[in-house]
Amino acid sequence: MKQHKTDGVLDLGTWMGRKQAFASLAGGCSAADAECLRQMRSQKKHRALGLTWAEFCRQQIGITRQHAVRLIRRLEEFGPQYFRLAKATGITPEEYRRIAGSVGEKGLSHSGELIPITAEDGPRLIAAVEELRRQAAPEAGKDGAEDQDRAIEKAERLLRAAVNEIGRVEEMPLDAARRQQLFTRLSAQIRRLRMVHEVSVRLGT
């Protein structure tokens, strides 16, 4: 029995070694991450450490149990394509449901064109997602509330996509000059975001 528990811990260590304790989940989950989570939960590998699933998610992965459940559900509902498209465009699950019929294993279909779901094609994908989402949305109300909602959703989606792209760039082996260039540009945009936030706070009070 003791040997069995040791084997379980070693097996769990092999799983965890895939992603440095899933450190990437806080910034963006891949389909492989979600599949690994799903199998770890279904096979109850957390028990090898004497932890509940909630404790394992919090202590070993750094996310809540609810977040892990949502990731697993998205994998089961949408498949791996959702995670690839979400990382490239920042699309939400609700938005994905509207355009799911245009997404396939080889890419996103739009205007007779198949756009590969890659980071490099991010700008094209974002534009196509916006058009498809607009076509799938119900007609806007008389007060323009839905137009405002779409504008806010678009801003949020673009911001998420930008954050994901920044993370991708930071993982590159940048030299000191390019890393300083990235820092300078990020600092300038962060200052702009702070000003926008301050204006929003003043208007909301």
Q: Is the pLDDT of residue 133 over 50?
A: yes
Q: Is the pLDDT of residue 4 over 50?
A: no
Q: Is the pLDDT of residue 185 over 90?
A: no
The domain spans of the chain are 2-76, 84-172, 175-205
Q: Is the pLDDT of residue 26 over 60?
A: no
**CA dist., res. 114 & res. 94, Å (int):** 22
pTM over 0.75, yes/no: no
Q: What is the pLDDT of residue 75?
A: 92
6: pLDDT confidence band, cut at 50, 70 and 90?
very low
> Who contacts 26 (Cβ-Cβ below 8 Å, separation ≥6)?
62, 63
Average pLDDT, the chain: 78
**CA dist., res. 28 & res. 47, Å (int):** 26
154: pLDDT confidence band, cut at 50, 70 and 90?
confident
Q: Is the torsion defined by CA of 86, 132, 97, 156 positive or negative?
A: positive
Q: Is the pLDDT of residue 197 over 80?
A: no
Please tell me which residue, 120 or 16, carries the higher pLDDT value.
120
Q: In this structure, how many other beta carbons lie within 10 angstroms of the beta carbon of residue 119?
A: 14
Q: What is the pLDDT of residue 165?
A: 78
Q: Is the pLDDT of residue 13 over 70?
A: no
Q: Is the pLDDT of residue 140 over 50?
A: no
Q: What is the pLDDT of residue 17?
A: 58
DSSP state string for 60-123: IISS-HHHHHHHHHHHHHH-HHHHHHHHHH---HHHHHHHGGGEETTEEEETTEEE--SGGGHH
158: pLDDT confidence band, cut at 50, 70 and 90?
confident
- Find, among 7, 159, 28, the residue nearest to 85 by Cα: 28
What mean pLDDT is predicted for residues 57-73? Answer: 87
